[in-house]
Amino acid sequence: MTEAMPAAMSDFDDIRPYHDDEVRATLDRILADKEFSLSVAKLRFPRLSRTLPWLMQPIAKAILKRELAGIQCVAEFQKVVEKYLRGMMGGSANALTSSGLDKLDPKQAYLFVSNHRDIAMDSAFISWSLFKNKLDTPRNAIGDNLLSKPFVSDLMRLNKSFIVNRSATKPREKFKAAKYLSSYIYHSLVNEKANTWIAQREGRAKDGIDRTNSAVIGMFGLSKPKTEDYGDHIAKLNIVPVSISYEWDPCDGAKTRELHAQTTQGSYAKGEHEDIESIATGIAGRKGAVHVAFGDVISSAFNSADAVVTEIDRQIIDNYILQPSNCLAYIKLHGELPSEARYSSAALPFSDSALKTEKIEFEQRLAAVPTEQQAIYLAMYANPLISKYS
């Protein structure tokens, strides 16, 4: 779906994705940003960029200028993004599978609510799965805390992202921002018929436990007219829970260090551009097999925020496809798999030989983690299996 509406017609100019008539000027602004081309050079030519940054930055800029020449609309820009994603499929992610897409109606707009493991790649893999199946890619929620650099904000909004205000601190400001966001999501889905994505919680589930933040669901209800039944309002949003599972988490080491610091020191001080580094690591790092499972639309029968939270959690956990890494971590912690997993071929969609093959890489990755942090690392991978069978 294109973003062709003129900007002047929108009430959400400060948070919405860019429209087609804003694309060319935004791309020219990004290409003029030296820091952007240097960042791309580090991603595409990591070794040479460390030793010859003065050379690789203009080379990266020239490549980008050629690739982005002539692009005038969001759809054309997303084709460039799609090319990079396709290239990544044979590298950091060597298999992407999906399920449940046959239940979606291409003529309907859906609000996809997924678990949250990776800052950029969760929404990217959902978009890629929809794109491959000739369904409209969604508009994606992104926190303003991740937009510390102007070129990052521009890139995200070019790629159909809308901004979530997380910088508000006072209760009244937070409520105002939440109501504004709720109105935009409702407008996007109901008035503009645009697929939309948001994570089930603010911040990634670093411990591997996928639980919906009730504040997210409460926010959806802020756009409900006073005279409308809550269940009818939720039904209008066409909420579809989505489960994303990664064989390997490229940021697992960093997440483990953060959780360990919180456990032993009581807090963790994040670096100035640590989120940007996590985005880059999530994009370029090895992910192995990735599965995206689309659930069932939540109906009007769920007539309270608590009921919607419970249903989203149920579907995300039930539809989550376990990876060999989840099982190996559980075995390492508990000796053997739960009986429900051991005696159900449907529970574990891989063979015993695949488990043995992966064990070699699993042990290598675990050995790279400091001994005092290994229990946290193992729990991160084991918790999806524990959630499924608890």
Residue at 43 is within a domain = no
Q: How confident is the model at residue 5 (pLDDT cuts 50, 70, 90)?
A: very low
Residue at 367 is within a domain = no
- Give tens-digit pLDDT for 253-295: 999 999 999 999 999 998 877 888 898 889 888 999 999 999 9
Q: Which residues, 6+ apart, have CB-to-CB distance to 176 below 8 Å?
A: 168
pLDDT of residue 287: 94
Contact 76, 100 (CB under 8 A): no
pLDDT of residue 141: 97
Rounded percentage of the chain residues whose pLDDT exceeds 70: 94
Rounded Cα distance between 382 and 366, Å, is: 13
Say if residue 4's pLDDT is above 60: no
Mean pLDDT, to the nearest integer, of 78-92?
76
pLDDT of residue 346: 52
Say if residue 28's pLDDT is above 60: yes
Structure tokens at 106: 């291409």
Q: Residue 112: beta bridge partners?
A: 197, 240
Contact 167, 216 (CB under 8 A): no
Mean pLDDT, to the nearest integer, of 164-172?
93
Vertex 162 angle, CA 190 and 206, to 5°:
110
**Single-letter amino acid code for the residue at 34:** K
Cα–Cα distances (Å) from 335 to 66, 328, 329, 338, 367, in that order, read: 55, 10, 10, 10, 18
Q: How confident is the model at residue 347 (pLDDT cuts 50, 70, 90)?
A: low
Say if residue 124's pLDDT is above 60: yes
Residue at 69 is within a domain = no
Name which of 34-48, 94-108, 162-176, 316-330 the model is least confident about: 34-48
Residue at 128 is within a domain = yes
Mean pLDDT, to the nearest integer, of 90-97?
76
Rounded Cα distance between 361 and 37, Å, is: 34
Closest CA to 299 of 239, 242, 214, 241: 239
Residue at 49 is within a domain = no
> Within 13 A of 224's CA, how many CA atoms are on the CB side?
21
Residue at 13 is within a domain = no
Q: Which domain holds residue 82?
A: 78-247+277-319
Q: Which sign, positive or negative, has the C-alpha torsion 257, 262, 327, 94?
A: negative
* Total structural domains within the chain: 1
Say if residue 238's pLDDT is above 50: yes
pLDDT of residue 6: 42
Q: Residue 348: beta bridge partners?
A: none
Residue at 34 is within a domain = no
pLDDT of residue 364: 96
* Residue position matching structure tokens 């579809």: 240
Single pTM value for the model: 0.91
Higher pLDDT among residues 94 and 134, named by residue: 134
Residue at 337 is within a domain = no
- Give tens-digit pLDDT for 294-323: 999 999 999 999 999 999 999 999 999 999
pLDDT of residue 1: 45
